[in-house]
Amino acid sequence: MTIGFIGLGIMGGPMAKNLIKGGYKLIVPAKSGKAAELKAAGAQTADSYKSLAEQSDVVITMLPNSPEVKAVLLGTGGGDSVIEGIKPGSIVVDMSSIAPAVSQEAGAAFKGKSVQFLDAPVSGGEPKAIDGSLAIMVGGDAAAFEKVKPLLEKMGASVTLVGGIGSGNVTKLANQIIVALNIAAVSEAFVLAAKAGVDPVKVFDAIKGGLAGSTVMNAKIPMILEGNFRPGFRIELHIKDLQNALDTAHNLNVPVPLTANVMETLQALKTEGFAKNDHSAIIRFYETLAKKDVRK
């Protein structure tokens, strides 16, 4: 099986490397900034998305947002695209986090080419992309899912079919709401503890094994205590995801007031120049208001 992989950024690069390590033949765009690095690891290169698609049994995309996905896959705007070269019987797996409606639009377009489309966004950030332990939530045809599940398992520890096309991204939006609100709750709590004069390290040790403990807290509090906001998942990307969540919720007449609130927190941090910080930097918002940093 030959896999074409488009989108070799913070997440896509290590994901592609894990496919090579897993024994898959990989083709990447020659124009990518990481093409040389992936070629050195064993990948081949293609001069266009069309050419990449022509040579691939499965095309995977890992792109920033809906407009980029539509441009690369469908040629929106008239540029080079996957749909120009894709062969009937192939499978397209979009692992980007985008609006569910765009996934459905892409699925309909590829169906007209006798190509199966799956939306398969991921959760876990850069560390889990590197070690191949991402959570992957998939929407689409069950038979197509079974065909690509073994290769998805090279990138993720959890690979789950959740429903039809678009349901993968609905699941990802739910995930992103929970993560953002969890970080905000952790931030409020630890700023309160620090301002009250209680050692945040001891607070963490005391509560992480109880009901308040979470994967989010375990991942983010050590970073916060070190003042390390190097991005595993950037604030600007979480803003993108929450905007998709708000748009989807509003289209479905679902109220999401807590999501709207944390979105404004993220927007405030972006305004202050923290857009490229890890989303654990949500705590900076509360630290500024309370005039108290949470550090060791």
* Cross-strand partners of 27: 4, 44
Same domain membership, residue 14 and residue 159? yes
User: Where is the domain boundary, 105, 135, 164?
Assistant: 164
3-class SS letters over the chain = CEEEEECCCCCHHHHHHHHHHCCCEEEEECCCCCHHHHHHHCCEEECCHHHHHHCCCEEEECCCCHHHHHHHHHCCCCCCCCCCCCCCCCEEEECCCCCHHHHHHHHHHHHCCCCEEEECCEECHHHHHHHCCEEEEEECCHHHHHHHHHHHCCCEEEEEEEECCCHHHHHHHHHHHHHHHHHHHHHHHHHHHHHCCCCHHHHHHHHCCCCCCCHHHHHHHHHHHHCCCCCCCEHHHHHHHHHHHHHHHHHCCCCCHHHHHHHHHHHHHHHCCCCCCEHHHHHHHHHHHHCCCCCC
Domain count, the chain: 2
Q: 69 lies in which domain range?
A: 2-164
User: Where is the domain boundary, 164, 189, 216?
Assistant: 164
Same domain membership, residue 283 and residue 136? no
Question: In this predicted structure, what is the pLDDT of residue 77?
Answer: 85
Q: Tell me the catalytic residues.
A: 172
**Which amino acid would we find at residue 13?**
G
Question: In this predicted structure, what is the pLDDT of residue 232?
Answer: 83
**Which amino acid would we find at residue 85?**
G
> Domain with 70 in it: what CATH number?
3.40.50.720
Question: In this predicted structure, what is the pLDDT of residue 46?
Answer: 97
Q: What is the mean pLDDT of each run of 10 residues along the chain (296 residues)?
A: 96 97 97 94 97 98 96 93 97 97 98 98 92 97 98 98 98 97 98 98 98 96 97 93 96 98 98 97 98 97
How many Cβ atoms are within 10 Å of 155's Cβ, its own excluded? 28
Contact (Cβ atoms closer than 8 angstroms) between residue 71 and residue 62: no
Question: In this predicted structure, what is the pLDDT of residue 211?
Answer: 97
How many Cβ atoms are within 10 Å of 250's Cβ, its own excluded? 12
Structure pTM? Answer: 0.92
Question: In this predicted structure, what is the pLDDT of residue 79?
Answer: 85
User: Where is the domain boundary, 135, 164, 193?
Assistant: 164
